[in-house]
Amino acid sequence: MVSKVDLIEKVKELMDKKDKIRNIGIVAHIDHGKTTFSDNLLAGAGMISEEFAGKQLFMDFDKQEQERGITIYAANVSMVHEFKGEDYLINLIDTPGHVDFGGDVTRAMRAVDGAIVLICAVEGVMPQTETVLRQALRERVKPILFINKVDRMIRELKLNPEEMQKRFMKMITEVNMLIEKYAEEAYKKKWQVNVNDGSVAFGSAYRNWAISFPYMKETGISFKDVIEYCSTGKDKELAQKAPLHKIVLNMIIRHHPNPIEAQKYRIEKIWKGDMESDIAKSMISCNPNGRMACIVTKVYTDPHAGNVATARIFSGKISEGQEVYLVGQHKKERVQQVCIYKGPQRISIAEVPAGNIVGLVGLPSVFSGETICESDTVIQPFESIKHMFEPVVTKAIEAKKTQDLPKVIEILKKISREDPTLTVEINQETGEHLVSGLGELHIDAKVERKLKDEGIEIETSPPIVVYRETVSSKGGPVEGKSPNKHNKFYIEVEPLKKEVYDSIANGDIKEGEVKGKDVELVAKLRALGMNEIDAKGAKMIHNRNIFVDGTKGIQSLNEVMELLKEAFENVMDEGPICKEPCYSVLVRLVDADLHEDSIHRGPAQVIPAVRFAIKNAILRGGPTLFEPKQILRVESPQELMGSAMKEIQNRRGDVLDMQNEEGATILKTKLPVAEMFGFEGALKSATGGKGFYFLVDVLFEKLPRELLEKVVKQIRTRKGLTVEFPKPEEEA
């Protein structure tokens, strides 16, 4: 075991040696063994007893994680490893595997430069393996591969060396196909994992051993030997000859980039400021003497210390007592304490330079995704951290006792700062609060449980599905008159081209205001099939909708453009059908007639007129709803698949693909989220507990016409609106 004093001194020394640092994350499908694997690495670095490695679950230190047996929060640790006679600092983040906590994985990927993708030798590549690998590649994080639970493959499947190798090659090929599919062009081939170069290792985290091809050549250990050791219960001997931590930490140092290498290609991906500016050059070179720039990737509350933020420093240094600027909050705050992580413990340290992952205590307003810089040099914020899936399930939460209401509001605000994938809508008048998350477990673990742990009694509604409003055809032009009748705006709407929508959804086209003449955006929109006038006239992209100025030479239009954008945002956030968000709508201003005196065209005149015109254009453009659907992988014994299929079809499900694999049938199916509640229990019941499913993807598709009126009435009733389907109004 390394003493606390020795660890601090060694970490301090290595923090300044950029080529000796590795920032890495462990990512995997649920139950593939990440936390047990982390224990091994920590034991090897002398941070926990080797006797408990694989059993202590050191990184699952939250009480709820221990009860549920799953990782819910990303956990950090800094450790030191010796490789070829030199010490290296490895900053490790263990991430959750359950899809409902995928937001923690996305945020962790912003902090690291390399990822260990862990897969189970028995189950192979699973849906969440694909999701986490995709999240890593989206952040330009380099993957390496560890195939875990090989002892189970030997004991349970009783494979010979040739069959084992065949199975390994199949898994490696599948991982490389995913890298080919999701990596950017420059990395599709460059980042392929390879048995021969040692970027792939095999082993058992539970039994504490691992092997790689270079290590086999070096030591003479063969697959036959590995099978012999495992079959005869000599895992401990194997763990002494081929300790997991040594193989994996060596692999990390050989194949993952140090911060100097990584920041050269990562900064342009995650920060869209001027690449010729001093701060850009400082970040690209990982300069500890430059101006400070870092991003917060995790926030949690310590009952004694308050907010604790995990941040990756890309430039400069951050020190205890330093005044910093929170770019998103537009405010200055003082860092009380700077620390490094040792799992559940934080070790205070005076100053940390660029290239490191650090804990910051004492920033009350900080949130996940926040950019932090020096208080006298404000920089452009980092790109927002975009999760693969978006919230599709909502629950209304209400305090049973009125006196608990302020505490509920305070906790909900804190939760939304910690986890931006949870959206919280607070209604202080009614006392009802809507929380939207990636699934029921997400809301239960991160919100309901937290409130109950604080001793607050709450009532929750059954899960509510989040729909999206859209148009199926062109609507308008519709005239919107200002209340004083001196200003007129003519608006039309139409469905956004699918290619443009997909490009916004996957992050190729960024949301937000379009500043000046954005030549790159115009080129992208035209390449995706948008006409030149609309592409050049794009003024704002919000919630996957685009506002376009299609006018020419309108006097004073620029002076009211901000108000038009605000009206556009208002309607896109709460559409005219049932106040659900709008999706995939192109809103075009085709003409305007403005009063020459600016006093007659203020916000109170312009915003209502434009909102009226947009809403009514939507109501004339074949208004309809998108409903969320989940693509699932459903597994069941072959003889019970008929019962599972019946359960899917009873819930408006479509079967997309069916395969038989070793006595099990694997279905790829698409199910509406509205029909998903209780599905897990029903599937278990239909298959005698032997059927289960995993989420592959989430998408939105048009609600069947025959269900539209019924669903709209239900939503409008729930929101206290008039029940009738809204009709277009004739005049503003």
Q: In this structure, is residue 725 part of a structural domain?
A: no
Q: What is the mean pLDDT of residues 496-513?
A: 86
Structural domain boundaries, residue 674: 628-701
Q: Are 217 and 87 in the same domain?
A: yes
- pLDDT recorded at residue 297: 86
- Look up the CATH number of the domain holding residue 609: 3.30.230.10
- Nearest by Cα to 371 from 325, 318, 416: 325
Q: Which two tokens stand for residue 654?
A: 């479509």
Q: What angle do CA 458, 461, 465 make, to 5 degrees?
A: 140
Question: How high is the pLDDT of residue 52?
Answer: 42
* CA dist., res. 249 & res. 518, Å (int): 45
450-499 residue pLDDT tens: 777 778 887 877 888 889 999 999 998 999 998 998 889 999 999 999 99
Q: What tens digit of pLDDT does each residue of 56-95 get? A: 443 433 343 334 333 333 457 788 888 888 989 988 887 7
Same domain, 190 and 49: yes
CA distance 697 to 390: 10
What is the enclosing helix (H) or strand (E) of 143?
strand 142-148
CA dist., res. 458 & res. 374, Å (int):
42
Q: Which residues pair with 397 in a beta bridge?
A: 433, 460
Q: Domain check: are 248 and 104 in the same one?
A: yes
Position 384 in a domain = no
- pLDDT of the residue at 560: 87
Indicate whether 507 and 557 sit together in one domain: yes
Percent of the chain with pLDDT over 90: 30
Among 470, 460, 500, 668, residue whose Cα is nearest residue 583? 470
Boundary of a domain, candidates 402, 434, 465: 465
- 272 vs 382: CA distance, rounded Å: 7
Q: Is there a single domain that holds both residue 674 and residue 686? A: yes
pLDDT attached to residue 254: 93
Assess contact for 152 and 122: CB atoms under 8 A. yes
* Euclidean distance between CA atoms 122 and 151, whole angstroms: 10
Percent of the chain with pLDDT over 70: 90
Q: How many CB atoms lie within 10 A of CB 256?
A: 23
Q: Do 360 and 302 fall into the same domain?
A: yes
Residues 597 and 653 in one domain: no
- Joined tokens for residue 300: 């949690």
Q: What is the 3-state secondary structure (H, E, C) of 583-618?
A: CCEEEEEEEEECCCCHHHCCHHHHHHHHHHHHHHHH
Q: Are 541 and 555 in contact (CB under 8 A)?
A: no
**CA–CA distance, 439 with 460 (Å, rounded to integer):** 15
CATH number at residue 416: 3.30.70.870
Structurally, the chain folds into a number of domains equal to 5
Instruction: Choose one of 414, 432, 465: the last residue of a domain.
Output: 465
- Residues 145 and 97 placed together within one structural domain of the fold: yes
Coarse DSSP helix, strand, coil percentages of the chain, rounded to the nearest 5 percent: 40, 30, 35
pLDDT in tens, 240-259: 888 888 888 999 999 999 99
Give the separation between CA 57 and CA 638, rounded to whole angstroms: 35
In a domain, 732, yes or no: no
Give the per-residue pLDDT at 154. 82
| 430 is a domain residue | yes
Kindly state whether residues 367 and 506 are assigned to the same domain.
no
Q: Which of 413, 435, 465 is the last residue of a domain?
A: 465
For residues 435-463, average pLDDT: 76
CATH number reported for the structural domain that contains residue 313 in this entry: 2.40.30.10
Distance CA(341)–CA(360), nearest Å, equals 11
Same domain, 300 and 411: no
Tell which residue, 368, 363, 382, has the closest CA to residue 419.
368
Confidence of residue 1 (pLDDT cuts 50, 70, 90): very low
Residue 151 has pLDDT above 50, yes or no: yes
For tokens 């609507």, name the residue.
475
Q: What is the pLDDT of residue 238?
A: 86
**Gap between the Cα atoms of 130 and 97, Å rounded:** 11
pLDDT score recorded for residue 732: 56
Residue 150 lies in a domain: yes
Q: What digits encode the pLDDT tens for the residues 157-183?
A: 777 788 888 889 999 999 999 999 989
Contacts of 328 (CB under 8 A, 6+ apart): 367, 369, 370, 371, 381
The β-bridge partners of 437 are 393
Characterize the bridge pairing of strands 86-94 and 306-315. Answer: unpaired
Q: What is the CATH number of the domain that holds 196?
A: 3.40.50.300
DSSP reduced 3-state for 215: helix
731: left (phi over 0), alpha (psi -120 to 50) or beta: beta
Whole-number mean pLDDT of the chain? 83
| CATH code, domain carrying 665 | 3.30.70.240
